[in-house]
Structure 1
Amino acid sequence: MPPIPVADLADRCRPIEFLLVDVDGVIAIDDRGVETKHFHVRDGGGIALWRKAGKRAAILSGRSAPLVDRRAAELGMAPVIQGAAEKGGPFRDLLGALGLDARQVCYMGDDLADLPVLAAAGLAACPADAAPEAIQLAHLVTQAPGGRGAVREVVEVILKSQGVWEDLVAGYRS
């Protein structure tokens, strides 16, 4: 799918209240030899800004790792759904449990397991290095690769579209 026009992107961003992200390849770089995950400070800062704007964020991951639970707790992300090899069902369950409409959700994923959620979410986002099939479904593809500030980039686009970015930034200037 070619990039959507800026006006259409802004229209998709305005109703977003919930940020749902995959972990590996999106907010973490995974060293599979030893179970470690490297989280980029800009992505954590992006989640913090998102939460400061009064919005909620959660994780939907195909893999399971205790490190993810710890990082999510640090950032105030809940729920944390791990071990979801098939993500469409858990996404629908999450919408029902939280009383959300799919149009209110930005989902950020990078691989084939993310396709059902990318297709259903109000705003589908992918990092620059996502699988081509994921990028085809994305409304927004970041300049940053996964685990290197891509989540922060998405947060900034949404909050600017919603007209709250400048107020958040002003708090850092004073």
Structure 2
Amino acid sequence: MQPYQADPSSQITAALGGIKALVCSLDGVLNSGTLTFDAEGREMPSLFARDLVAIREALQLGMKVAVIAGRQASAYRPMLEAAGAVDLFLDGEDRLEAYELFKSRHGLQDDECACIADDIDDLEIMKLAGLPITPINGVEYLRARVGYVSVYEGGKGCVREVVEMILEHQGRWAYSEKQAQG
């Protein structure tokens, strides 16, 4: 799905079935976009626990996950590695190159990747991804060009919502109300 062909829900539903990987921007998606530093200038990372639990569950169910930061963000590495085998691009790599490396490493095609980003610096990846997504507080320019706008803000559950949506659609999210009702 191209970002410029946004919505109809039938396109989203069709895309969900083929998603094998999730690519997340760090700033504004996994964190709130607010950067906090201590008195020595060290970044004090913070991530929403529910998003990390969802990433762990996605990895355990075979989904590939990449986190891309367009800046030096190694302070997040221990928290993200604790979630599982996440492909981390936290050293300021070129975002598009990181995305292509991730796909190549796992034998993925664009249409097998969902991408969550909140700002225009990820637009090139969003144009390629099979399901481009932004948090509800993503920049307006992106909100008008993605396949899905999360009802959650970045750093406050949008990753969890997307993981659940993908895995539930694929019948692999065991914590679904649909699954619980049989």
TM-score range, shorter chain: 0.7 to 0.9
**What CA distance in whole angstroms lies between the structure 2 residues aligned with 1:27 and 1:14?**
23
Which of these residues, 151, 155, 160, is aligned with residue 163 of structure 2? 155
Q: How does 1:26-105 map to 2 (within 5 A)?
A: 26-34=29-37, 35-84=43-92, 86-105=94-113
Deviation at 1:168, TM superposition (A): 6.8
User: What is the CA–CA distance in structure 2 between the aligned matches of 1:17 and 1:25, rounded to whole Å?
Assistant: 23
Q: Is 1:165 aligned with 2:168?
A: no
Q: Does 1:6 align with 2:14?
A: no
Give the root-mean-square deviation of aligned CA atoms: 2.4
Secondary structure in structure 1 of the residue aligned to 2:29: coil
**TM-score, normalization: structure 2?**
0.84
Structure 2 residue runs without a partner (length 5+): 38-42
Count of matched residue positions in the alignment of Structure 1 and Structure 2? 173
CA contact (8 A) 1:106 1:123 kept: yes
2 CA distance for matches of 1:165 and 1:48?
A: 12
Q: For 1:31 and 1:135, locate their aligned partners in 2 and report how far apart those are by CA, in whole Å.
A: 20
Mapped partners of 1:81, 1:169: distance in 2: 35
- Deviation track 1:6-55 (CA, whole Å, cap 9, x = no partner) reads 22211101111111111111011354341222211111121122123221
Structure 1 CA distance for aligned equivalents of residues 174 and 44 of structure 2: 35
More strand by share: 1
* 1:96 CA drift (Å): 1.9
Q: Are the structure 2 counterparts of residues 70 and 147 from structure 1 closer, same or farther at C-alpha, using a change threshold of 3 Å?
A: same
- Distance in 2 of aligned mates of 1:160 and 1:5: 19
SS of the residue aligned with 2:121? Answer: helix
C-alpha distance in 2 between matches for 1:170 and 1:53: 18
Identity %: 24
Q: TM-score, normalised by structure 1?
A: 0.87
My pick for the range that moved more, 51-60 or 163-172, is: 163-172
Cα displacement (A) at 1:85: 6.1
